Structure formats: structure tokens, C-alpha cells
Amino acid sequence: MPPTDSLPPPDAPPPTDDFAADPDLVLAVDDLAVEFPLTRKTTFAAVKGVSFRIRRGETLALVGESGSGKSVTAMTLMRLTEHDGARITRGSIRLRMKDARVVNLLDLPEKRMDNIRGAEVSIVFQDPISSLNPVYRVGDQIAEAVVRHQGKTKEQARRIALDMLRLVRVPDAERRLRQFPHQLSGGMRQRVMIAIALACRPSLMILDEPTTALDVTIQAQILDLVRALQAEIGMAVLFITHDMGVVAEIADRICVMLKGEIIETGSVYDVFDTPRETYTRALIAAVPALGSLADSPHPQKFPTAATLTSAEGA
């Protein structure tokens, strides 16, 4: 079951009080549960009672192994899992929008969600080459969101697109604006994806494994960029990853997911210094440390939760 500190206590005030008491609260997810149909009579529970909060200017890392439910959680925040046949069985997803109104995204019709995706909540996926349209210039793809959500003319949207490329530190932005995705490097394509996500200055940006497909040098540049942009814009960030090394670099707080549940949550310092759960310790131990095998003649397997549990019980 999720730890009690990740769930509202039984005597918690009504949900709207959360936002009234904390003007910097951007997102409140409470008891979210999502399931997928397997057959006509059976379902698979991908997310089980997940709860967390994100404040303005804060980065929350949602971490766990593949299949733990972290990406399903992120996609559900955008109400995209329903297009894959998922069913949200309970919970709420409350968002403070840029005009300060608080809405439960689960209560909104699809047409209203179309206006929120990209404008209030944006997402950057793991592989930019599969997310960008190969037949449109990158400038047109950035400008599309601006025209759609801000009602700008094409020329105004083009100028904003150019400003966005400069904001994400793309060199020679004027020329890159006219290029196609295949003409850019992997790191540049991911910067374009971040520019698209930021074009409408959303309240919340979701980054779903945004550095996994990049080499370590470009990965470090993208992490530095996210931190710098967050400081400039003040947006809330939900960072999805399985890499605890990345978490240590980027996150303020951590939620550890396993089998669809949040099993541990806390500040990045508390979780790394004194992890409560064996699974969390296994994730941290899986981060390679330079020189850790210097005295071993052969490569060794990374520790797992099972091996750590056995060692602790010995």
C-alpha cells in the first residue's frame, strides 16, 4: 500500500482548501486509480491509489522500474490513457490554471481537455524523433501550438517560435527554425520538443524519460537546461525516470513507484540519505559508481531488491 504520508489524512480539509492554503500549489493528485481491460471480464490495475502534490517552481521525480506505472500516471494527467482504452476508476487530478482557477481534470469533457493540453499542461516524451512530424519544419511545429492556444497570427507565432528556440539555447536559431527534424541532432531535437512544450508557458511540464535516448554529455546539457528554464519561468515539473542518478541532479522531491503504487516519498536528500524501502535502496544501488569494482576481477550484477532483502536478513 502507498505510505500514509503520500495520502491525505482522514480528517483532511476539503480538496479546495489545499489550494486556498498554499498559493504555490499547482497540481494535487489524490487516490488516482487506472485500469486496462485484458478480456471482457478481467482488467489490469496499472495505477493503484496514487497521491502527490507539486508546487510552483518545484521538480517532483516519479521513479521506478519499467512497468511500475509511472508513465501511465503521467499520461493520465493529460487524460491520454483513455484513448488507449484505460478506465480511471477513482481519484481526482486538480490543477491550478494560469488564471488561478482550480479544476478537476477528470471532470472535464474531451473538448475542454484539448484546450488544456499544451496550454496549461505540456509533456516531453522520451524519443523526440518519433514525436516530431518528419514532414514539417521545426518552426512550424512550435508555432502550431501558439496559433492553436493563443490565437496568434502565423507571423506572430513564428516570432514566438524563434524566441522559444533561443530560450532553449539552440544556436543559430533562425536557420534551425527552417530545418526538418532529421536535420537536427538528438539533443537538438529534444530541445525543440522542450520549446514546443514551453511555447504557451504551461503551469505544469511533464518530462517522460526525456534524456534516456541521449548520450551522457547531451543528457547533462538537457538537465541543466530544464533547471535554468524552471528558474526563469517558475513552472512546476513532473520528471519521470528510472535513473536515480538523474533524480539526484534534477529533483526536489521523489515518489518511488512499484507495481502501480507509491511506496516511498520524501525530499531528495531524505530519500537518498535514509531510504526506508528495500526497493528504493536497490534503485539507488543500481547507479554505477566510478571505481566500485576496482578490486573485482570480473563484472558483477547490480543488486536487486531480492538480494538486498536476503543480505539484510542474514
Q: pLDDT tens digit string along 14-38?
A: 444 788 889 999 999 999 999 999 9
Residues paired with residue 103 on neighbouring β-strands, in sequence order: 95
- The residue type of 265 is T
pLDDT at 122 over 60: yes
pLDDT at 299 over 70: no
171-189 pLDDT, tens digit per residue, is 899 999 999 999 998 888 9
Q: How many other CB atoms are there within 10 angstroms of residue 213's CB atom?
A: 18
Q: Where are the domains positioned within the chain? A: 131-201
Q: Long-range contact list for 229-234, CB < 8 A, 24+ apart?
A: 229/167, 229/168, 229/194, 229/198, 230/57, 230/59, 231/57, 232/167, 233/198, 233/201, 234/56, 234/57
| DSSP code at position 109 | -
Q: How many other CB atoms are there within 10 angstroms of residue 89's CB atom?
A: 15
Distances (CA, A) of 168 to 136, 178, 184, 238: 20, 16, 14, 18
- Name which residue leads in pLDDT, 237 or 286: 237
CA angle 164, 137, 78 (to 5 degrees): 60
| Alpha-helix residue ranges (DSSP H) falling in 168-277 | 173-176, 186-198, 216-233, 244-250, 268-273
pLDDT band at 80 (very low <50, low <70, confident <90, very high): very high
Half-sphere exposure in the Cβ direction for 156 (13 Å, CA): 9
Residues paired with residue 205 on neighbouring β-strands, in sequence order: 122, 237
Give residue 243's pLDDT: 84
- Name which residue leads in pLDDT, 71 or 311: 71
Give residue 186's pLDDT: 84
